[in-house]
Amino acid sequence: MESMLNLSKNSSLWMWSILGLAVLGTYLWRGLGVALSEKLTQDSPLFRWITCVTYAMVAALVIRIIVLPVGLLAEMPLAARLTATGVALVIMLKMTNGLVPALMAGTSLMMIFAWVL
């Protein structure tokens, strides 16, 4: 990329060029999504498949963060991470609007475990 623009990586024009390309790439896909949004129906098999794949990817990332954490979370024992996750999941499933209480309970448990363990 540096040789394409013939700019030094230390110049401000280089940084602005990279930022501009990132913005262009981001908003190009967003604009395409807006343009095609009227043609998509949420009940189509393709849309349901994309939704399932999205949920599966998010679930896999959450499981990976819990089971194979990096950084400070790696210092917490696996049993503590699984306990906090389980309690938060039970709260979320039992309550009608349980996302915020579940997040608060899971976070509080992790803080307590970090302090005690």
Report the 3 state secondary structure along 97-117: CCHHHHHHHHHHHHHHHHHHC
Q: How confident is the model at residue 100 (pLDDT cuts 50, 70, 90)?
A: very high
pLDDT at 4 over 60: no
Looking at residue 105, its pLDDT comes to: 96
| Portion of the chain with pLDDT greater than 90, in percent | 67
Residue 8 has pLDDT above 80, yes or no: no
Report pLDDT digits (tens) over 27-75: 998 999 898 888 878 888 988 998 999 999 999 999 999 999 999 899 9
DSSP 26-65: HHHHHHHHHHHGGG--TTSHHHHHHHHHHHHHHHHHHHHH
